[in-house]
Amino acid sequence: MAESSQSNPSSSPGRALSSEAMSAGLARFIAKQEGLAPERVRVDDLRRLSGGSSRLMWSLNAEITDSSGARKLELVLRQDPPGRIAEGRMGLEFKLLAAARGAGVPVPKVYWCDPGSSELGAPFFAMERLAGETIPRRLLRDARYAEARAVLCRQLGTALASIHAIDVEASEWGGALDRPARPGEAALSEIDRTAEGYRALAVEPHPVLELAERWLRAHIPEAAPALGLVHGDYRLGNFIFDESGLVAILDWEIAHLGDPVEDLAWLCVRAWRFGNDDLPVAGLGTREALIEAYMEGGGAAVDPAALRFWEVVGNFKLALVLIGQARAYLDGAHPTVELASLGRRIAEPEAELLALMEEAG
């Protein structure tokens, strides 16, 4: 995981453990996983990382001494916030990362997982800390990333083909993934879930979303031949990159079974272009280049009309995300300026929905 700004872990709201207690608990946990005496493991430089809206992120160093000598690991800890534990999801994400790495997908190496809350009060897993950057505006603006901009669209298409090739049904964790209630209805399931969500959360009418829902129900494409592993949040901000391009794919917490085209289309949603609107794939390339790289990497043929349909779905879902953020601010659950400002952006995916529907005729 890329390093980013830190805050003081001991002052994090809702945390029961001090930095010292957390480091000690981690050392005990690692020693147990490695079959070593506790004094053989030392954890230091524990720091809270910024980013990660639904998970806590910590940077740390661990030194493990065994019969082969001492080895030092630079790690990131991914942890459920206390009081907001997603039952079973931490263990599932750990297994997904391990499977993805085994399939050749660029992801951080994972080490240990505590799917319960034995040591730190909430489930967590540890993975390697990778050098690189995640901030989209730096990728799209800084001269040092010019070479990365030239290759990333193709790299992302190729990596996505590898993700979709993972054999979920042959895995011991596949049954834990969310999936459509009825096979062959991945699109309908996403439309139903999103429509139900925005009607439950919206505090004002959204006629564009009503129109978009009707359009989507009338234009559902032919179902994918089979459900596949969908990353679920494949976009700028969830990739580590450096000057040469893609380093790793992050944030697998909402991976599910669905139509693989969903991932390709989410990468094309206007919000992830950060102003580079002439390049629809994350401000980096064209839809045609993305599809070509995806198919060259082993992905199935992609119908451009289906890609545009799922792009409409993506903007429909993004509107729900922003409505949820506005509601969290208005209800006082998280009264932050960030949520207030994001809540005001609902008009952006609504404008994009109108444009996409008009283009599709």
pLDDT of residue 83: 63
Q: Is residue 267 over pLDDT 70? A: yes
% of the chain residues with pLDDT over 70: 93
Share of the chain above pLDDT 90, in %: 76
Under 8 Å CB-to-CB from 161, ≥6 apart: which residues? 293, 294, 295, 296, 297, 298, 299
- Give the pLDDT of residue 4: 35
> Cβ distance 76 to 126 under 8 Å?
yes
Reported as a single tens digit per residue, the pLDDT across 79-105 is 987 666 677 799 999 999 999 999 999
On whether both 78 and 163 belong to a single domain, the answer is no
CA dihedral 196, 201, 207, 211 (to 10 degrees): -20
Do 227 and 273 fall within a single domain?
yes
Domain membership flag for residue 50: yes
- Tell me the average pLDDT across 245-258: 96
Determine the structural domain holding residue 228 and report its residue range.
136-360
Task: Determine the distance from the C-alpha atom of residue 296 to the mean position of all C-alpha atoms in its chain, rounded to a whole number.
Answer: 24
Burial class from Cβ neighbours inside 10 Å (0-12, 13-18, 19+) for residue 208 reads buried
User: Quick one: tokens of 219?
Assistant: 């234009």
Residue 1 belongs to a domain: no
Asked if the model's pLDDT at residue 218 lies above 70, the reply is yes
Q: What's residue 88's pLDDT? A: 79
- Which residues does 361 contact at the CB level (< 8 Å), separation at least 6? none
The residue among 96, 128, 160 that closes a domain is: 128
Note whether 346 and 314 are same-domain residues.
yes
74 and 222 housed in the same domain: no
Domain final residue, candidates 128, 156, 176 = 128
Q: Which residues contact 27 (CB under 8 A, 6 or more apart)?
A: 38, 41, 42, 43, 62
For residues 30 and 141, membership in a common domain is answered with no
Beta bridge partners of 256: 178, 230
Confidence of residue 289 (pLDDT cuts 50, 70, 90): very high
- pTM (two decimals): 0.90
